[in-house]
């Protein structure tokens, strides 16, 4: 396989490491996250928030998601732990009933495997959800690391998870890439010295991704291989 144009420009070849975000980058998981969040809110005596509203809260980890939902519902702060436990249970019980893989996810993972490029999964989602979700879609074996928001002392936008994987294989930061959909991914990339590719279809919380000046901005993961 010839070197894709973006990789030729950024790395003069294939990257030494690629880190993928999960929600909004590889998987559209909001339908199931929203369903779990709404069930939790209703169980606590509040109204459901609805999928579109929850979509704007996803990306900074489950604890932040629950906090935002409970603030929206005017539920007292002292019930946050209760809400968090409810959400974790509801979501774990139905991780992928309505979630879907975005286009060309497996194709790009296969390409990196063929080129022997190590691939990491770095998400702010709690780690207990990661492998079951990836197993559901049959893609867990492509990842050498699967790091959740609770796997290390810090999570994105901290560069720590990216640097952890980079240091494992003694890669050079300027030869590494993160593929994500949000400001948290961009900030983590910049802090780590990684190149950054952002997808336009994910959960960007209203941020104009063009203003971030990412190294690559794509509408489809397949564009990375062109």
What are the φ and ψ backbone dihedral angles of 195, each rounded to 5 degrees?
A: -75, 155
Residue 78: HSE in the Cβ half-sphere, 13 Å Cα cutoff = 0
- Minimal CA–CA distance to 179: which of 13, 2, 12, 15? 15
Radius of gyration, CA atoms only, the chain: 17
Enter the DSSP assignment of 23: B
Among 21, 23, 181, 185, which one carries the catalytic annotation?
21
Q: How far apart are CA 192 and CA 171, in angstroms?
A: 12
Q: Give me 35's structure tokens.
A: 């369903």
Which stretches of the chain are DSSP H helices?
Answer: 5-11, 30-43, 51-55, 62-72, 80-93, 105-114, 130-137, 160-168, 183-192, 209-212
- Minimal CA–CA distance to 200: which of 189, 211, 191? 211
21 is catalytic: yes
Length of the chain: 226
The catalytic site residues sit at 21
């Amino acid at each position: 396989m010839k070197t894709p144009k973006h990789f030729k420009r950024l790395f003069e070849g294939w990257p030494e490491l690629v880190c993928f975000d999960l929600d909004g980058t590889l998987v559209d998981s909001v339908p199931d996250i929203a369903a779990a969040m709404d069930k939790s809110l209703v169980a606590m005596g509040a109204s459901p928030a609805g999928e579109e509203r929850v979509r704007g809260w996803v990306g900074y980890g489950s604890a932040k998601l629950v906090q935002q939902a409970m603030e929206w519902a005017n539920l007292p702060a002292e019930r946050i732990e209760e809400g968090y436990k409810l959400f974790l249970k509801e979501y774990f019980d139905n991780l992928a009933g309505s979630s879907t893989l975005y286009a060309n996810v497996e194709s790009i993972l296969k390409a990196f495997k063929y080129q022997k490029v190590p691939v990491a999964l770095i998400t702010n989602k709690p780690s207990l959800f990661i492998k079951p979700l990836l197993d559901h879609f049959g893609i867990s074996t492509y990842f050498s690391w699967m790091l959740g928001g609770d796997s290390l002392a810090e999570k994105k936008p901290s560069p720590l998870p990216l640097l952890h994987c980079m240091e494992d294989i003694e890669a050079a930061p300027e030869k590494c890439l993160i593929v994500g959909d949000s400001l948290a991914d961009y900030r983590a990339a910049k802090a780590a010295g990684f190149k950054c590719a952002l997808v336009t279809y994910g959960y960007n919380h209203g941020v104009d991704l063009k203003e971030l000046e990412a190294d690559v901005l794509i509408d489809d993961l397949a564009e990375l291989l062109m």
